[in-house]
Amino acid sequence: RKEVEQDPGPFNVPEGATVAFNCTYSNSASQSFFWYRQDCRKEPKLLMSVYSSGNEDGRFTAQLNRASQYISLLIRDSKLSDSATYLCVVNWGTGRRALTFGSGTRLQVQP
């Protein structure tokens, strides 16, 4: 079983749509959670951290469910520029400083 699992997609949605991605993680000791965005042929960049209480950044909302070990990303009013791969990322915390990445979910927003 992969440590961080995501649906690879692609998710093809029209502009203005709302789209949600889920991600599950296997290590219950995981402490920090993030969504990264990776554009085609570019490096990953931090989109947002995910907090236990849920958090919002403009059109983006992230949620964490520790009991079920999943995190989610909701994008409202999709723009063409949102087309990218979204990577679910987990940090195990103490003893391991590196991030563990999911394989990503590809989003294609169509005009």
Partner 1 sequence: DVKVTQSSRYLVKRTGEKVFLECVQDMDHENMFWYRQDPGLGLRLIYFSYDVKMKEKGDIPEGYSVSREKKERFSLILESASTNQTSMYLCASSLTTEAFFGQGTRLTVV
* Footprint of partner 1 (CB under 8 A): 4, 8, 32, 34, 42-46, 49, 87, 91, 97-104
Report in angstroms the alpha-carbon separations of 18 from 13, 54, 80.
Answer: 8, 17, 13
**Could you count the other beta carbons within 10 Å of the beta carbon of residue 78?**
21
Q: CB of residue 48 vs partner 1: minimum separation in angstroms? A: 11
Nearer to partner 1, 78 or 102 (CB): 102
Give me the DSSP letters along 52-108. TT-EEETTEEEEEETTTTEEEEEE-S--GGG-EEEEEEEEEETTEEEEEE---EEEE
- Of 85, 79, 76, 94, the C-alpha closest to 43 is 85
Q: CB of residue 25 vs partner 1: minimum separation in angstroms? A: 13
Q: CB of residue 109 vs partner 1: minimum separation in angstroms? A: 21
Q: CB of residue 4 vs partner 1: minimum separation in angstroms? A: 8
Nearer to partner 1, 30 or 78 (CB): 30
Nearer to partner 1, 78 or 105 (CB): 105
Nearer to partner 1, 12 or 32 (CB): 32
